[in-house]
Amino acid sequence: MQYEALNQWHFVAAAYAVGLGGVAVLLAQSWLAMRRAERRRDGARGK
């Protein structure tokens, strides 16, 4: 019988890398989209 030697910490690290990376991208993209839209609105007000 053959057993796989799994290092459990590799799975924990992979899960956190995916999760935290995803949340960071979501936060950054939402922040930039909000700033861009509000700058455009303020620019349109001045024109």
Partner 1 sequence: MHAFANPARFLRLARWMTPLFLACGLVLAGGAMAWGVFVAPADQLQGETVRIVYLHVPTAWLGMGGWTALALASLSELVWRHPLAGIAARAVALPGAAFAAICLVTGSIWGRPAWGTWWVWDGRLTSMLVLLFLYLAYLALADAAQRDGAGGSRIPAIFGLVGAVNIPIIHYSVLWWNSLHQPPSITMGKSAMAPEFLAPLLVSTVGFSLLFGAVVLMRMRALLAEQQTEARLRRKAMAA
Q: Which positions touch partner 1 (CB under 8 A)?
A: 6, 8-9, 11-12, 14-16, 18-20, 22-23, 26-27, 30-31, 33-34, 36-38, 40-41, 44-45, 47
Least separation, in Å, of the C-beta of 44 and partner 1? 5
| Least distance to partner 1, CB of residue 11, Å | 5
Q: What is the dihedral of CA 19, 24, 27, 28, to 10 degrees?
A: -150
The kind and range of the H/E element at 47 are: none
**Closest distance between partner 1 and the C-beta of residue 7, in Å?**
9
Longest dimension (CA), the chain: 76
